[in-house]
Amino acid sequence: MTWLELRSALVLLAMSFVVLPLLPNHAVDPWGGFNPFSVWLMTVLIAALSYAGYVAMRVAGPERGILFAGATGGIVSSTATTLSFAHISAAQPGLSRQLAGAASIAGGLSLVRCFIIGSAVAPQLLLPLAVALGPGLAVFIVSSLILIGKTGRADASTDLKLTNPFELGSVLRFGALLGAVSFLAKTLVRFLGPDSIVVIALVSGIPDLDAITLSTAHLAGTSVPLNTAAIAVLLATCSNLVTKVVLAFGSGTRLYGWMLALVTLSVIAIGGACFAGFLAFWG
């Protein structure tokens, strides 16, 4: 870790302790869609979660191998990790299969992250989210182990180029996204009904999964039924996974893209089928 990376974290934490108590802890718009205190608190907590993975990755170093790089990178940003592995596959085509496996474990960690965030904000979502995301996680894990095989410590450059999650610019961008998604979700649900969260999730999940997961969890059990909230998170996850496949094809080898596409299709199909069965019997 460099001094600049550590300093950025300390500065942001100091700002949070000073600024957070000064922010209004209530909606500041007529529609009740934007709470500055809640948005900033969630922004810092998400950045802290990402920073933990970033520190683990930097401390361990690239010599720990592809599997470890995929796991820690998935905690920081699975989208950035998938893109970084795509660039590596273009430079080292012989490792495309193994890199697709590492990207798969990063995708699996993104589901774990989504489950933790959603169930922490809304504990009543724990079971629906477990059913919605658990099967997909299992597919990701099995696929990554098959694709990587015994080459998890292959001699490859896995020094991922990921942004420090505690850089002020990164935090402010996520805060702006979270604020916008939260405002849209609450406002549209209020005027168009709880089912509108599904459409919002499908679109919002394309660039980022955390923001819509947080926004949906805050509405779960109150403005939005639990099963509808879980469906929204599942659809946001699907759109986010498809985005990663597009990035894989755009920046990596065809083999890397097709392998990741096959895994993603399996995750969506099996996860969707399991959750549909859950709704049929328990919904």
Over the stretch 77-117, which tens digit does the pLDDT of each residue have? 888 889 888 988 998 898 899 999 999 999 999 999 999 99
Residue 152 has pLDDT above 60, yes or no: no
Residue range 226-282, pLDDT digits in tens: 999 999 999 999 999 999 999 999 999 999 999 999 999 999 999 999 999 998 887
Domains contained in the chain, number: 1
Query: What pLDDT was estimated at residue 180?
Result: 87
Mean per-residue pLDDT for 115-137?
93
Query: What pLDDT was estimated at residue 57?
Result: 65
Residue 155 has pLDDT above 50, yes or no: no
Beta bridge partners of 220: 224
Give me the half-sphere count of Cα atoms (radius 13 Å) on the Cβ side of residue 149.
8
Whole-angstrom CA distances from 41 to 9, 46, 174 are: 15, 9, 12
Q: What percent of the chain has pLDDT over 90?
A: 43
Q: What percent of the chain has pLDDT over 70?
A: 86
Token pair for 207: 């660039």
Q: Are the CB atoms for 35 and 56 separated by under 8 Å? A: no
Q: Are the CB atoms for 99 and 235 separated by under 8 Å? A: no
Query: What pLDDT was estimated at residue 198?
Result: 93
Query: What pLDDT was estimated at residue 165?
Result: 64
Query: What pLDDT was estimated at residue 63?
Result: 52
Neighbours of 102 (CB within 10 A): 33
Q: Is the dihedral of CA 164, 166, 171, 172 positive or negative?
A: negative
Residue range 36-74, pLDDT digits in tens: 888 888 777 777 777 776 777 667 665 566 778 888 888
Mean per-residue pLDDT for 180-203?
87
Residue linked to tokens 């679109």: 203
Measure the CA–CA gap between 174 and 264, rounded to whole angstroms. Answer: 25
Between 217 and 153, where is the model more confident?
217
Query: What pLDDT was estimated at residue 122?
Result: 92
The whole domain housing 227 covers: 3-282
Query: What pLDDT was estimated at residue 199?
Result: 92
Query: What pLDDT was estimated at residue 154?
Result: 47
Q: Are the CB atoms for 235 and 209 separated by under 8 Å? A: no
Query: What pLDDT was estimated at residue 242?
Result: 95
Query: What pLDDT was estimated at residue 26?
Result: 82
> For the residues of the chain, what is the DSSP string, one character each?
--HHHHHHHHHHHHHHHHHGGGS-SS--STTS---HHHHHHHHHHHHHHHHHHHHHHHHH-GGG-HHHHHHHHHHHHHHHHHHHHHHHHHH-GGGHHHHHHHHHHHHHHHHHHHHHHHHHH-GGGHHHHHHHHHHHHHHHHHHHHHHHTT-TT-S---------TTSHHHHHHHHHHHHHHHHHHHHHHHHH-TTHHHHHHHHHTTT-SHHHHHHHHHHBTTTB-HHHHHHHHHHHHHHHHHHHHHHHHHHS-HHHHHHHHHHHHHHHHHHHHHHHHHHHHH-
Measure the CA–CA gap between 60 and 73, rounded to whole angstroms. Answer: 12
Query: What pLDDT was estimated at residue 224?
Result: 92
Measure the CA–CA gap between 78 and 95, rounded to whole angstroms. Answer: 19
Q: What is the pTM of this model?
A: 0.82
If you average pLDDT over every residue of the chain, what do you get? 85
Residue 25 has pLDDT above 90, yes or no: no
